[in-house]
Amino acid sequence: MKPAPPIAPDSAPGFQANLPDAADVVIIGGGIAGVTAALYLARDGLSVVLCEKGLVAGEQSSRNWGWVRAQGRDEAEIPIMLRARRLWQALAQDLGDVLGLRTCGVTYLASDQAGMDRYAAWLAIAHAHGLDSRLMGRAELRDALPNAAGWPGALTTPSDMRAEPATAVPAIARLAASEGVIIREHCAVRALDVAAGRVAGVITEAGRLRADRVLLAGGAWSGLFAANAGLNLPQLSVRATVAATEPMEEFWPGAAADSGLAFRRRADGGYTLAPGMAHDFWIGPAAFRHLRAYLPMMRRDLRLTRLQPAAPRGYPDAWTTPRRWSADRPSPFEAMRVLSPDPNPVRISRLQDDFAAAFPRIGRPRIRAAWAGMIDTLPDQVPVLDQTTLPGFFVATGLSGHGFGIGPGIGRVMADMIQDGDTGHDLSRFRYRRFLDGSAIRLGPDL
């Protein structure tokens, strides 16, 4: 397979369907969650319009690691993730190898005994949900990774998978379009159309579109959109840097990570590398506004964060980005069609050094391409999957860097919710109102 870097921001739009006057559901955002929700709603017989301000999968849905994992998730996410696995397999039946879907396992490599203890504690959750997760000792891990310098052990889930983000999501979008979803790229939704206290449609840059149900799946832009609609959604975003190596001999068939280095085999014969969970955070107005909510996360994870004083112009939380705008004028979403941050070059160089230290027999890898994405997160590191306080307005956001794998499950859940159907899951952990009713912040797993 040819290498598949993230979708280039200057790519020509491939979805240019004419907008109707009305639809049953409008979806804002063409990432994995929005695209799969659109597909499942259409299969349920609803008319669906998906508006994407830039390009389908142009942002984090083509920039992530490509992991499709149940391992390490918050317990409330695991049932949705297990459903997502089945949906991925069904999509592969429809679409073939363009998804790059492989069952290859996901492995967390422990840096010390404390890490092994955390993994052992999480196993109780895994086994309660029927996962095949297990611990690997030093000797077994040494046999599996003979080129490595050595880790004391690991947590592994053999049934986890990987896929190719930059080809998978556009392929699912094409499938959705073939089944009746109207998809329009370069079509920003500027604002909600509200009448009699509930959603009546949306106002796009191409005009008004009537619909009594709207799903916001806008990734890093969701908080900004919600705020303009008068809703409080305490979302922030961090920059995550990723690289792809030149083709190299396979030393590990799946995906793995320790505290500072993540890697997974690519379909093009190379590896995707990332600096673990380390990231960069630009301080902006929303950071101050939501500071109290994020204090528990900061106390735990600030060591992984490099703080910077101001985001580049046009970013969702840049100091000069408007927080309010009129629907009859261009919005911040038209000013920046695709949020495409530059990768952090220091992290790329350190990635190569860390890889060489971990795999001295392989040495420093040659980098074919590097990129970055803005990961949307919420104060407890689990998403909002809910109808908001505005009737008819639904939100699926805050997927916190692990949305690609669970994406089809999220899409199915939201499709059921929008139709007032049984989602099949306990979604109380993902309530929108948890940030409004004084609920304590309960962080996701620290693995």
- Condensed to tens digits (0 to 9), the pLDDT of residues 88-143 reads 999 999 999 999 999 999 999 999 999 999 999 999 999 999 999 999 999 999 99
CB 153 within 8 A of CB 142: no
Task: Give the per-residue pLDDT at 166.
Answer: 94
Give the other-Cβ count within 10 Å of 231's Cβ: 18
Tell me the domain boundaries of the chain: 25-435
Quick one: fold of 25-435? FAD/NAD(P)-binding domain (3.50.50)
Distance separating alpha carbons of residues 305 and 3, to the nearest angstrom:
30
Task: Give the per-residue pLDDT at 446.
Answer: 87
Q: pLDDT of 140-180, one tens digit each?
A: 999 999 888 889 999 999 999 999 999 999 999 999 999 99
- From 408, 431, 428, select the one nearest 82 (Cα to Cα): 408
Give alpha helix (H) positions in 147-221. 165-178
Structure-block tokens of residue 131: 């996962």
Q: What is the dihedral of CA 104, 85, 240, 332, to 10 degrees?
A: 150
Q: What is the mean pLDDT of residues 349-376?
A: 95
Terminal CA-to-CA distance of the chain, rounded, Å? 32
Task: Give the per-residue pLDDT at 400.
Answer: 82
Find the helix or strand (DSSP H, E) in which 223 lies.
helix 222-228
DSSP letter (8 states) at residue 428: G
**What is the identity of the amino acid at 99?**
L
Q: Tell me the HSE value of 281 on the side-chain side, using a 13 A CA sphere.
A: 22
Give the pLDDT band of residue 3 (cuts 50, 70, 90): very low
- From 216, 194, 193, 167, select the one nearest 53 (Cα to Cα): 216
Task: Give the per-residue pLDDT at 259.
Answer: 87
Give the other-Cβ count within 10 Å of 10's Cβ: 9
Give the other-Cβ count within 10 Å of 260's Cβ: 17
Q: pLDDT of 407-424, one tens digit each?
A: 999 999 999 999 999 999
Give the pLDDT band of residue 4 (cuts 50, 70, 90): low
Share of the chain above pLDDT 70, in %: 99
Structure-block tokens of residue 60: 């984090």
pLDDT greater than 50 at residue 1: no
Task: Give the per-residue pLDDT at 6.
Answer: 86
Q: Tell me the HSE value of 234 on the side-chain side, using a 13 A CA sphere.
A: 22
Give alpha helix (H) positions in 46-195. 78-95, 113-128, 138-144, 165-178
Q: pLDDT of 47-74, one tens digit each?
A: 999 999 999 999 999 999 999 999 999 9
Task: Give the per-residue pLDDT at 367.
Answer: 96
pLDDT greater than 90 at residue 387: yes
- From 296, 281, 4, 395, select the one nearest 170 (Cα to Cα): 4
Q: pLDDT of 311-335, one tens digit each?
A: 999 999 999 999 999 999 999 999 9
